[in-house]
Amino acid sequence: MNRREFIKTTGLGLAALTLPSCHSIATDVAPDSVGKPVTEPKKPNIIFILSDDVGISDISCTGGDHFKTPHIDGLAQGGTRFEYCYSTPLCGPSRCQLLTGRYPFRTGLINNYSDNAIAPSREIMMPTVLKQAGYVTAQAGKWGQMALGPRAWGFDEFLGVKGSGKYWRDQVATYSHNGQINDLPEGKYLPDIMHDFVIDFINRNKDRPFYVYYAMVHVHGPIVRTPDSAPGSKDLYNDNIVYMDKLVGHLAQELERLHLREKTLIVFAGDNGTARFGIDRATIGGRHIHGMKGTMLEGGSRVPLIVNWPGTTPAGLVNRDLTDFSDFFPTLAELGGAQLPASTVIDGESLAEQIKGRKGKPREWVYVELNGNSYVRNDRYKLTNHGGLFDLRDAPFKEEPVSGDTTDAAAIAARKRLQAVLDQHPTAPGKAPPPGRQVRARQRRQRQGGTP
């Protein structure tokens, strides 16, 4: 597909679709974009922070109206924020795509109950690739909706739980540390134990390159008190956002204390859009986001993405290239000096050059798939696998249907081009959850105060 022709025929650029940027963020021009030489950095330590059910309206620097996240904002102010990052709108498939660089129709992990579709004999995850480049690897936090455990996929160490919504002893009695089952002491907050593990791992491995996949449990429901919640707090959702932000700040402070800050790349992203617990405040500039977690709308898939590597990522840059979760695999492999698996189709495009402030090779489209539904989106239009074409000039607040008999030349050309992409990405058929999982899901919604 001719990229120049594609861009020419599919409409407006992303600059016409922007949201409010981070406080005092200054520029979209990279420091080296006028030809100044850039010193190539050595391979970095890598910490990938994946927040749970955190959409763009939950973070203040991505435009959220209701929440203050100064430490995450600080990462954006000192690094680069990617404004158009797209995930699968549900945690299991999004995490699999992140760790393998492959779309759901390739791996078979198309929903939260197809975890056994993947196996190490068929898929290669990021830690295996980075270990071959000399990294020591660790996973902390949530490991759910994917087969086996972190060690089976190449992580040297891990501490966490399978599944979501695990904070206190009455919600989870045990956690796993390198395969050993430990009792969660009464009064201990599991996110603190996970965080302490990350800090300990970094201290023990500060003299060698490390990769930490830090899958935070905030802010997945049920939304319960944090150690900092005031007695009788009436805004536990905000308490959880604030606590998550505090942990991110503590991590950055520890890297500073160890003199590792300029040697460490921090990536912060949400795994999918905001869930129902926060949807009433999912607004930017007073306008409500269209869609939420689990939907094939902007609010389901468009997530925060911040990259911070002092001395390498331009400070205060807002990058408006399209990106999706398959891009992380080739990006981290390139930055870490690792070889991609030769016999495996990797769907992602490396963002390494953009992270360094250069132009790179921007995507012309992103692909999103969940349980039999999919769409491909370019800078203005979105086409679903059911044939619906939508104009996204007012996204993420509105997705305007385009009539099938439109005479608009740009829309007609976009449909043709986007259909060609869908033809190359055969959406896997959707599957209904097993009966036992349907019952458990209904019981969980009832316990959490949702509809049966």
State how far the Cα of 333 lies from the Cα of 339, in Å rounded to an integer: 7
CB 322 within 8 A of CB 84: yes
Q: Tell me the sheet residues that pair with 390.
A: 382, 401
Predicted pLDDT at 390: 98
| Total residue count of the chain as it appears in this document | 452
Q: Tell me the sheet residues that pair with 401.
A: 390
Pairing status of strand 389-391 against strand 400-401 = antiparallel
For 230-246, what is the mean pLDDT? 97
Class of residue 276 by CB neighbours under 10 A (exposed 0-12, middle 13-18, buried 19+): middle
For 45-70, what is the mean pLDDT? 97
Listed residue (359, 361, 363) closest to 28, CA to CA: 359
For tokens 């992303």, the residue is: 14
State how far the Cα of 66 lies from the Cα of 180, in Å rounded to an integer: 40
- Find the range with the poorest average confidence among 30-44, 193-207, 314-328: 30-44
State how far the Cα of 319 lies from the Cα of 357, in Å rounded to an integer: 9
Predicted pLDDT at 41: 62
Amino acid at 7: I
Locate 261 and state its tokens: 């800050």
State how far the Cα of 143 lies from the Cα of 179, in Å rounded to an integer: 13
State how far the Cα of 447 lies from the Cα of 430, in Å rounded to an integer: 27
Listed residue (197, 203, 229) closest to 216, CA to CA: 197
At 173, is the pLDDT very low, low, confident or very high (cuts 50, 70, 90)?
very high
At 37, is the pLDDT very low, low, confident or very high (cuts 50, 70, 90)?
very low
At 12, is the pLDDT very low, low, confident or very high (cuts 50, 70, 90)?
very low
Share of residues in the chain with pLDDT > 90 (%):
84
Locate 82 and state its tokens: 């990617």
In tens, the pLDDT along 398-446 reads 999 999 999 999 999 999 999 999 999 999 999 998 886 554 554 454 4
Helix (H) or strand (E) holding 446: helix 435-447
Mean pLDDT of the chain: 90
**Between 16 and 296, the higher pLDDT residue:** 296
Locate 234 and state its tokens: 């009436």
- 62 pLDDT higher than 80: yes
Predicted pLDDT at 404: 93
- 40 pLDDT higher than 80: no
Pairing status of strand 264-270 against strand 45-51 = parallel
Domain spans of the chain, in order of start: 42-364
The torsion angles phi and psi of 365, rounded to 5 degrees, stand at: -160, 160
DSSP class of 327:
G
| Greatest distance between any 2 Cα atoms in the chain | 65
- 196 pLDDT higher than 70: yes
Q: Please give the CATH topology (third level) of the domain spanning 42-364.
A: Alkaline Phosphatase, subunit A (3.40.720)
Locate 53 and state its tokens: 């059910």
In tens, the pLDDT along 334-348 reads 999 999 999 999 999
State how far the Cα of 128 lies from the Cα of 78, in Å rounded to an integer: 30
Burial 15-38 (b: 16+ CB within 10 A, else e): eebebebbeebeebebeeeeeeee
Predicted pLDDT at 209: 98
Helix, strand counts (H, E) of the chain:
12, 18
For 110-132, what is the mean pLDDT? 95
CB 11 within 8 A of CB 380: yes
- 450 pLDDT higher than 80: no
Predicted pLDDT at 334: 98
Share of residues in the chain with pLDDT > 70 (%):
87
Q: Which long-range contacts (C-beta less than 8 Å, at least 24 apart) are formed by 282-285?
A: 282/55, 282/57, 282/58, 283/57, 283/64, 283/65, 283/66, 284/19, 284/20, 284/56, 284/57, 284/62, 284/63, 284/64, 284/65, 284/396, 284/397, 285/19, 285/20, 285/63, 285/65
Locate 70 and state its tokens: 């100064």
Predicted pLDDT at 8: 41
Pairing status of strand 305-308 against strand 80-86 = antiparallel
First to last CA, the chain: 47
Locate 64 and state its tokens: 């959220």
State how far the Cα of 154 lies from the Cα of 398, in Å rounded to an integer: 41
In tens, the pLDDT along 257-306 reads 999 999 999 999 999 999 999 999 999 999 999 999 999 999 999 999 99
- 81 pLDDT higher than 80: yes
State how far the Cα of 347 lies from the Cα of 340, in Å rounded to an integer: 12
DSSP class of 353:
H
For 362-390, what is the mean pLDDT? 98
Predicted pLDDT at 17: 41
